[in-house]
Structure 1
Amino acid sequence: MWQRSKTLVLMLGLLVSYQAVAGSAWDSYKGRFLMADGRIIDTGNNSVSHTEGQGFAMMMAVRNNDRASFDKIWGWTKKNLQNPETGLFYWRYNPVAADPIVDKNNATDGDTFIAWALLKAGTQWNENKYLTESDAITKALVARNVISFAGYRVMLPGAKGFNLNSYVNLNPSYFIFPAWEDFAQRSHLTVWRELINDGQKLLVKMRFGNTQLPADWVSLYADGRVTPAKEWPARFSYDAIRVPLYVKWAQPASPLLAPYSAYWGRFTRTQTPAWVNITTNDPAPYMMDGGLLAVRDFTMGQLPAGEPQITIKEDYYSASLKMLVSLAR
């Protein structure tokens, strides 16, 4: 009896310890980046806010069963960023500007994460209003940002400025496959399956140069050609790093992961360049660390066990990548 009681005490202790550890990364993240009003600050970019960060944090709150934080983040986002005419969201908020929202365009990665988090929240907490709000956002996304072009179904990065008639500019890190999968299951609309299938086909075509990696921004021409977009540096960098994350999140054994593992496998872990020019093959003069390494480790099946460590020196984006990798795993 004594041995059995001792075992029970140990098991309870381990459970309590696990729960404490499980919440520690989220607590650290909130302590660093969540303002009292629900705004997530980008500490690497003059403490502005983006719909991307709001959506990331909403998803983190759901996965940590933190409804109070979720409601705070969603409440601020809805009040300050939602465009009443479109139902989508202004992508950037600068708290020190005379007009905090100068650019009235949306960013579909942020819109997608917000809708996805609302869908998860509605399911987890049995709250129909979240599901209704999610459905309204996904409907607006399809109506305003999804087009057929060059034989592909694509989601434009924003409603304005990306369809240049003879070509469209795409951001492959906005191909958020696990969210699209959930939207397909929720709505049963074929458009989400088309986005998934055509997005995967486009990623195969976006294998550029010696690295066989996509650029952060890619142009799709009316004849079906794809090239690195001339308006941005031809780099696999801080945007495109999310491509393998979302691919593996949706399909852990996807063959689309092969080019990333192959390229990163050329280097030791601590000597992996932070980015590479996919036209010239010139690597970054500095190495991966923080969240970039977390994505690398996750993609290559080398992610250490346990919660991510959000250090006091870590900026918003690095910490967010670490947290997203943890959610994906």
Structure 2
Amino acid sequence: MNPKVKVLRLLFVALSLLCFSITTMSADLDWQTFKHRFLAQDGRIIDTGNHNISHTEGQGFSMLFAVAANDQKEFDHIWRWTKKYLQDPQTKLFYWKYNPISANPIEDKNNASDGDVLIAWALLKAAKKWNVPEYLTESDTIVRSLLKYTVVEFGGYKVMLPGRYGFTAKNEVIINPSYFIFPAWNDFLRRTHLAEIKTLINDCYRLLQDIDWGRFKLPTDWISLSATGKTYPAARWPARVSYDAIRVPMYIKWAEPNNPILVRWSDWFRAYPRNSMPAWENMVDQSTAVYPMRGGLMAVRDLTLGQLSLSDTRVLVSDDYYSSSLKLLSVLAAAGE
């Protein structure tokens, strides 16, 4: 064989292996950085961009990362703290927020359904990876509680409310589409075969598809669902595609990489040069952030467009907890894990 051809073939194989291993290597390597920066000694995850509080979102994200990195020691560490301090003994859901400097760290007894989903999903994955039946029992209990307390039928759709309290009214309910964690719901369906979960998945996809308002017909961070089945930006929040809604394409890409609704997100991302993509846009008045996307937001953009690279997923000193989380989540989404 021609030496040059042999070298080229070896180079091709090496590059292929590198591309194949980016998701697995980066999840592990960046988990080391992530836990060094954000995991406290007691097992709680510190949200450095939000007054150093902890919340179920961060606990759930980090449990997922620990499973992906095959780090059972830290998984148990995080889970034990979460169960001890945040789990409601009555509902088995979790108090969403823990403020370590408050006289009463659990001031709000409400849950956040996305945090509950993430915790249950991580436990399900951990049970399979490490063959621990107790994790599976805990996961099943949380899923049953989510269905009981947060899933409702309204306006012709079955949806998951953002929390048990505070999101329903006579003529509308408030929903947060970034709480529609489709890949987790898919795993819950495979585990339980419950028709209720299948309907939830199908109806939430349909709800997103039925959005017919705003620029690019994208869901804003918070939306209202009326009793007639119409959706519109929720009045209590700016009509922005912002730090919450950025997770929507990531979860859809994770669950169904070829779902046609992703075209709407691709159109929005491509409407701006990559380096000047605004961090948020108001879909009603088209005002935009005066600062660009960076960090984890950019990782989600690149994931959605099929352009995610290793450099997108490295956790940098400039990344806060949420930016770092989006980077690691994008890695897992790209890997379909």
- Answer whether TM exceeds 0.5 for this pair: yes
Contact 1:32 1:312 in 2 (8 A): no
The 3-state SS of whatever aligns with 1:211 is helix
Give the whole-Å Cα distance in 2 for the aligned partners of 1:152 and 1:181: 18
Cα offset, 1:210, TM superposition = 2.3
Could you tell me which amino acid in structure 2 is paired with residue 142 of structure 1? Answer: L
Give the whole-Å Cα distance in 2 for the aligned partners of 1:226 and 1:121: 37
Residue 326 of structure 2 is aligned to residue 321 of structure 1: yes
Contact 2:298 2:312 in 1 (8 A): no
The 3-state SS of whatever aligns with 1:292 is helix
Contact 1:153 1:198 in 2 (8 A): yes
The answer for the alignment partner of 1:71 in structure 2 is 76
The answer for the alignment partner of 1:129 in structure 2 is 134
The answer for the alignment partner of 1:3 in structure 2 is none
Cα offset, 1:267, TM superposition = 1.0
The answer for the alignment partner of 1:279 in structure 2 is 284
The answer for the alignment partner of 1:169 in structure 2 is 174
1:312 is aligned, of 313, 317, 328, to 317
**Superposition RMSD on alpha carbons, in Å?**
1.8
The one-character-per-residue Cα deviations of 1:129-170 (angstroms, maximum 9, x if unpaired) are 000000000000000001111111111100000011210000
Contact 1:39 1:76 in 2 (8 A): yes
Could you tell me which amino acid in structure 2 is paired with residue 259 of structure 1? Answer: R
Could you tell me which amino acid in structure 2 is paired with residue 287 of structure 1? Answer: P
Could you tell me which amino acid in structure 2 is paired with residue 168 of structure 1? Answer: V
Give the whole-Å Cα distance in 2 for the aligned partners of 1:307 and 1:173: 21
In structure 1, the gaps of 5 or more residues are 1-6
Cα offset, 1:194, TM superposition = 0.7
Cα offset, 1:256, TM superposition = 1.1
Q: After the TM superposition, which segments of 4 or more aligned residues of structure 1 sit over 6 Å from their partners?
A: 17-20
Residue 231 of structure 2 is aligned to residue 226 of structure 1: yes
Residue 282 of structure 2 is aligned to residue 294 of structure 1: no
Could you tell me which amino acid in structure 2 is paired with residue 270 of structure 1? Answer: N
Give the whole-Å Cα distance in 1 for the aligned partners of 2:230 and 2:259: 24
Give the whole-Å Cα distance in 1 for the aligned partners of 2:165 and 2:175: 12
Give the whole-Å Cα distance in 1 for the aligned partners of 2:25 and 2:260: 36
Residue 246 of structure 2 is aligned to residue 241 of structure 1: yes
In structure 2, the gaps of 5 or more residues are 1-9
Cα offset, 1:21, TM superposition = 5.7
1:323 and 1:207, CA in 2 relative to 1: closer, same or farther beyond 3 A? farther
The one-character-per-residue Cα deviations of 1:25-56 (angstroms, maximum 9, x if unpaired) are 01000011001111000000110001000000
The answer for the alignment partner of 2:4 in structure 1 is none
* Structure-to-structure mapping, 1:57-96, within 5 angstroms: 57-96=62-101
The 3-state SS of whatever aligns with 2:217 is coil
Contact 1:207 1:214 in 2 (8 A): no
The answer for the alignment partner of 2:273 in structure 1 is 268
> How does the TM-score come out when normalised to structure 1?
0.93
Residue 196 of structure 2 is aligned to residue 191 of structure 1: yes
Give the whole-Å Cα distance in 2 for the aligned partners of 1:277 and 1:86: 37
Residue 122 of structure 2 is aligned to residue 117 of structure 1: yes
Give the whole-Å Cα distance in 2 for the aligned partners of 1:299 and 1:26: 22
Give the whole-Å Cα distance in 1 for the aligned partners of 2:77 and 2:281: 38
Which stretch of structure 1 is more off in the superposition, 18-27 or 206-215? 18-27
The 3-state SS of whatever aligns with 1:105 is coil
Cα offset, 1:207, TM superposition = 4.6
The 3-state SS of whatever aligns with 2:261 is helix
Q: What percent identity do the matched residue pairs reach? A: 54
1:84 and 1:280, CA in 2 relative to 1: closer, same or farther beyond 3 A? same
Contact 2:96 2:110 in 1 (8 A): yes
Contact 1:21 1:307 in 2 (8 A): no
Could you tell me which amino acid in structure 2 is paired with residue 297 of structure 1? Answer: D
